[in-house]
A = this chain, B = another copy of it.
Amino acid sequence: MDLNSRKFKILQAIIDDYILYGIPVGSRTISKKYNMGLSSATIRNEMSDLEELGYLEQPHVSAGRIPSVKAYRLYVDSLIKSGVLEGTSSLNLQSYFNKHIKHIEDILSHATQVLSELTNYTALAILPKDTSEKIRNLKIIPVTKDTALLILVMQSGSVYNKVIRINSGLSVDTLNHISNLLTESLSNKNIDEVSGVLFDLIKDLNSNRDFLIKLSDSIKYMVNYENHNKLTLGGTSNIFNYPEYASVEKAKSILTLLDTQDELVELLKQYGEMQFTVKIGPENGIIGLDDCSIITATYSTPTNARGTIGIIGPTRMPYKHIIQILNNVSYELTNLFDDN
């Protein structure tokens, strides 16, 4: 027994119906609504086979059947193979943004907002992390007697800042001097080059050794960790639109996850390797998220750094529709950055 074309058609009909109504689908429904030219009894036999093959599940014996994760997976794979990811964007994301020039953080926050409105699911995204991005400018501004502010501006316009402790022996002029020296020697260098450059500088200067080492660490820390462990969220409360999360425990578990962020950030980072991912139910690997699907796409900045944007929702999800929207949004997002 294998999955012939008739079985596939029936399975598809069941998935479509279940996605639409969210209640178990019976043989009679398929026979009548999806005019297959087959009686309910025949469908019944096929459904029994499909269950044996692992594509369908039965909540209880007198209920209809619901698609399994395996079925969704088949469905999504065939969708993607059929070219749902192609086609130009009918969406003009640009029009959703006002004309102010914005930071990437603002753009992304806005994009998740838009995405959540378009899909009615919760949207989530992470900022791109670009180790090859070049430093543009560096400045050390004294704040108190023994603290200063380290400000780092990247070529893309990203700004990082961090309070650092300074040796009280360092005068404002010295700091200014170091600041200028560093801007000069670090500009157009990327993060991986910082250590090397500072090492050379230490040799030349032969003073302020500890301070420069600490600076180097701070710079690396800022660029590598700050911002890149933070989820951008949109439409958090959309979760409640679905009967799957009508029970408070379910909703709580997912909202706690969104609150905690860490696990999801890791997931998105991981997914960022792929242009497009669809993780159905337990495929995402997070315990307690077995009945959620996560769909992600990557977007890129002009410097070719890649971030991830996606949505999270119940396993029962109009995959085709959502995939198209997400595809468009990530495409438009990339465009938007190019223009800016």
Contacts and interface: CB of A to CB of B under 8 A. Distances in A.
A149 B157 contact: yes
A178 interface: no
Contact of A236 (B240, B245, B255): B255
A161 interface: yes
Quickly give the copy total for this chain. 2
Nearest to A161: B159
Contact of A237 (B103, B147, B256): B256
Contact of A259 (B143, B237, B249): B237
A143 B136 contact: yes
A252 interface: yes
Interface in A227-257: 235-237, 240, 245-246, 248-249, 251-252, 255-256
A157 B153 contact: no
A246 B155 CA distance: 49
A186 B256 CA distance: 45
B147 A137 contact: no
Given A153-B151, A159-B151, A163-B157, A252 B236 contact: no
Q: How large is the interface on A (under 10, 10 to 19, 20 to 34, 35 or more residues)?
A: 35 or more
B101 A164 contact: yes
A112 to B, nearest CB: 12
A236 B258 CA distance: 10
Given A163-B101, A237-B255, A141 B137 contact: yes
Q: Is the contact region of chain A dominated by helix, strand, or loop, or is it mixed?
A: mixed
A259 to B, nearest CB: 5
B141 A153 contact: yes
B165 A101 contact: yes
A228 B161 CA distance: 19
Contacts of A145: none
A59 to B, nearest CB: 21
23 contacts: A103-B162, A103-B163, A136-B141, A136-B143, A137-B141, A139-B139, A139-B151, A143-B155, A143-B157, A144-B157, A149-B157, A151-B153, A157-B163, A159-B159, A236-B259, A237-B255, A237-B256, A240-B248, A240-B251, A240-B252, A240-B255, A248-B251, A251-B251
* 6 interchain residue pairs of minimum CB distance: A240-B252, A237-B255, A143-B157, A237-B256, A101-B163, A159-B161
Given A143-B156, A151-B153, A236-B255, 4 more contacts: A137-B141, A149-B159, A159-B161, A236-B259
